[in-house]
Amino acid sequence: MHWIYLIAAILFEVAGTSSMKASEGFTKVGPSILLMVFYIASLSFLTLALKGLDVSLAYAVWSGMGIVIITFIGIFYFGETITWLKAVAIILIIAGVVILNVAGGHSTADAPQIGEETNS
């Protein structure tokens, strides 16, 4: 369930960032209000996700995937350009999120801590 909360947090964060662009510096009322609603929803779901996920993992996935998704929205919806350097950066972000997921996908209660003995 915590991963579902995290996915919802990511989607609301992306919607908030898209609304931020559409608000044109808070000059358009509708997108400005949506920006605040989406960010409140995003942070609420992120808080729920943190009840069962490590903060380092959850925040890395939340911010990393948000960056990747909003980059694609920027390119395909807002007409922004992509360079080879941007593409490499996106690949590195995805790689980092995957590595963190593999390395730390357990909740803090389940994972052995540094210096802690295990029963194996």
Mean pLDDT of 93-114: 70
Long-range contacts of residues 58-67, Cβ cutoff 8 Å, at least 24 apart: 58/6, 60/96, 60/97, 60/100, 61/6, 61/10, 61/97, 61/100, 61/101, 62/6, 62/9, 62/10, 62/13, 64/93, 64/94, 64/96, 64/97, 65/10, 65/97, 66/10, 66/13, 66/14, 66/17, 67/93
Tell me what pLDDT residue 31 has.
97
* pLDDT at residue 120 tops 70: no
pLDDT, tens digit, 9 for 90 and up, residues 84-94? 999 999 999 98
Q: Which residue has the higher pLDDT, 35 or 99?
A: 35
Mean pLDDT across the chain? 88
pLDDT band at 98 (very low <50, low <70, confident <90, very high): confident
pLDDT, tens digit, 9 for 90 and up, residues 3-41? 999 999 999 999 999 999 999 999 999 999 999 999 999
Is pTM beyond 0.85? Reply is: no
pLDDT band at 102 (very low <50, low <70, confident <90, very high): confident
